Amino acid sequence: MNRFEGKVALITGGARGQGRCHAENLAREGADIVICDICQQIDSVPYKLADKDDLIKTKKIVEAQGRNCLAVQADVRNFQQMQELANTAVSECGKIDILVSNAGIASASLLSEMSEQMWRDMIDTDLTGGFNIIRAVLPHMIQRQYGRIAVIASQLGLTGGKTQGHYAAAKHGLIGMVETVAIENAENGITINAICPTTVDTAMVHNDSLYKAFGAEPPTYENALKAFPKPNAIPVPWIEPQEVSNLLMFLVSDEARYITGADYRIDAGSLASAVSKRFSM
């Protein structure tokens, strides 16, 4: 199946995790890939971020699918870098058909104790980073009157979460932006949708800070296996990146050409479970 033969997909945060999985899957179905990643540490992030070796590994994985891959070190917090990335993608690949706004970070703190830097790092990366890449890519898509955009939000874009006030604020903002971009570009042949996963099995969650935030004490992998399923109706601790890629590939395909401005939960029933618990006797 080659739903994306002849297409070019740009993916932020593509060095590992969900971004790598999306790149591999889109390439497997025929797309050439452009990926970017910051490849350096952000001080308030409590785990090791991807590095240049990770970015190169993703590039090799894509190329092993027989597709071209342009890999660029770039920071979504910087609009100029995103604009340069979009322009380079167009000049070297000819166009941008698909954008996956995926770059994001995680950290944990009660809002009453959160540092200003932790708040800023989250909003700058997870929310403004999404704006920067969408703003950079939209003119190219508008000119061609075609585009498919998927934004990786979160179930916390639809609710709140203890120690996750900054993350929830950023993801709520993304969903509002998705709806606005959909309205503004419906006549331009461009669709945009948000994907709202529960916890995904990536390096972003496998660290002491996030383990503690979910109640794993002491913060070990074995205790996380027990603590993480609690919010989910389906009793799994997390979902695999492939589950998110499966939904994403539908939303950026022409099979979904009339779907825009929507948010799709892939949350193992966690939000439904939360509502049920509020009204249970």
**Residue 220 falls inside a structural domain:** no
pLDDT digits (tens, 9 = 90+) for 218-236: 999 999 998 888 888 999 9
Q: Cis ω on the peptide bond leading into residue 46 (within 30° of 0)?
A: no
Length of the chain: 281
Q: Residue 242: CA atoms inside 13 Å, Cβ hemisphere, count?
A: 1
* Contact (Cβ atoms closer than 8 angstroms) between residue 55 and residue 15: yes
Report pTM: 0.96
pLDDT for residue 120 is more than 60? yes
Does the annotation count 211 as an active-site position?
no
pLDDT level of residue 139 (50, 70, 90 thresholds): very high
- Give the pair of three-digit tokens for residue 117: 């830097």
**Residue 104 falls inside a structural domain:** yes
Q: What is the number of structural domains in the chain? A: 1
| Dihedral-angle region of residue 5 (phi above 0 means left; psi in -120 to 50 means alpha; beta otherwise) | beta
* Whole-number pLDDT of residue 276: 55
**Residue 222 falls inside a structural domain:** no
* CATH code of the domain containing 173: 3.40.50.720
* Whole-number pLDDT of residue 13: 98
Name, in order, each residue with C-beta under 8 angstroms of 218's C-beta and a sequence gap of 6 or more.
none
**Residue 218 falls inside a structural domain:** no
- CA 45/CA 52 separation, integer angstroms: 18
**Residue 12 falls inside a structural domain:** yes
pLDDT level of residue 109 (50, 70, 90 thresholds): very high
**Residue 144 falls inside a structural domain:** yes
pLDDT digits (tens, 9 = 90+) for 50-79: 999 999 999 999 999 999 999 999 999 999
- Give the pair of three-digit tokens for residue 209: 């800070």
Catalytic residue among 47, 146, 167, 258: 167
* Whole-number pLDDT of residue 281: 47
φ/ψ of 151, rounded to 5, equals: -115, 125
pLDDT level of residue 26 (50, 70, 90 thresholds): very high
Q: Which residue range forms the structural domain that includes residue 100?
A: 8-202+240-279
**Residue 224 falls inside a structural domain:** no
**Residue 168 falls inside a structural domain:** yes
Percent of the chain, pLDDT > 70?
97
- CA 62/CA 60 separation, integer angstroms: 5
pLDDT, averaged across the chain:
95
